Structure formats: structure tokens, C-alpha cells
């Protein structure tokens, strides 16, 4: 039996998998569901080109509406299991919440600033406030000045 050296076992497996998956998808999903899935996948790919998709607040916290302007030099460090999105800058981690989530989660403030290295350790925050300008001023003044 001749072995086609131009096609690897991996390629054969992937071809077989694609063929079977194609028919499974067609039998399980409607055309409109498949179209919606393809459009969603395209959005994901476009978002990936703009930054880290997996820490994008639109992905990690789609129901939270950030109503303040996040400075361009801050890095999103949002994690889907956190209550709200967060951003890091100059050694600080800034959590940004909206009014709806604040009320739902019974939080005292919309914004919390902590040391980035203290994330997940249960230490007290450095600043808790509802005033976004206070957050910006604090980060600009105290960023990179860890004790």
C-alpha cells in the first residue's frame, strides 16, 4: 500500500475532523446561528488586533459600562472572575465599576486603587472613591512610589 508522502497523518486527521465537524455543525445549528457565530468570531479577531483580547473589559465584563475615559497609557488587566474590570499603571491596579454593578454587588465605591503586586492577597486598598478625578490625581501622584 503506497503512502502519499505529500500528506501527513496530521493533515489527514485535520481534514477528517473538518469534514465531520462541518456536517455536525450543519445538523446542530441553524444557518442564522452559524452566521451569528462567524460574525462574533470576526469581532474577536478584530479586537485581538487592538490588544489583548482576554483582558479586554468588553470581553471580561460585557455587562459593565465604563462611563469614564481610561488613559491610553494604562494597561487593561481585567479578569473575568473579578467583580469589575481593572487597569494597571505605574505599579498600581485600578478597578473601575459602574453604578449598576456597585449597587448589585453592594460595593461602597465605584473605583478602587491598590498596589498591583497586592492583587489577590487580600490587602487593604490605597484608595476607594466615587470621584474619578480623585483616582486620576492619586495614580499620577503615587504611581511607582511603593513603600
92-110 pLDDT, tens digit per residue, is 999 999 999 899 999 999 9
More confident residue, 60 or 53: 60
More confident residue, 46 or 62: 62
The pTM assigned to this predicted structure is 0.61
Cα 65 → chain centroid? 13
> Domain ranges in the chain?
9-50, 58-142
| CB-based contacts of 97-102 (< 8 A; 24+ apart in sequence) | 97/64, 98/64, 98/65, 98/66, 98/67, 100/63, 100/64, 100/65, 101/63, 101/64
Amino acid at each position: 500500500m503506497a503512502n502519499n508522502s505529500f500528506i501527513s497523518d496530521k493533515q489527514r486527521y485535520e481534514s477528517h475532523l473538518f469534514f465531520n465537524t462541518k456536517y455536525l455543525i450543519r445538523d446542530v445549528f441553524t444557518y442564522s446561528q452559524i452566521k451569528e457565530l462567524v460574525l462574533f468570531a470576526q469581532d474577536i479577531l478584530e479586537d485581538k488586533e487592538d490588544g489583548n483580547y482576554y483582558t479586554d473589559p468588553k470581553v471580561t465584563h460585557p455587562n459593565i459600562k465604563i462611563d469614564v475615559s481610561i488613559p491610553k497609557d494604562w494597561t487593561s488587566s481585567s479578569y473575568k472572575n473579578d467583580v469589575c474590570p481593572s487597569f494597571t499603571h505605574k505599579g498600581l491596579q485600578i478597578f473601575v465599576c459602574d453604578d449598576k454593578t456597585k449597587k448589585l454587588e453592594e460595593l461602597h465605591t465605584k473605583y478602587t486603587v491598590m498596589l498591583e503586586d497586592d492583587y489577590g492577597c487580600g490587602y487593604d486598598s490605597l484608595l476607594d472613591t466615587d470621584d474619578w478625578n480623585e483616582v486620576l490625581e492619586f495614580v499620577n501622584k503615587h504611581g511607582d512610589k511603593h513603600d
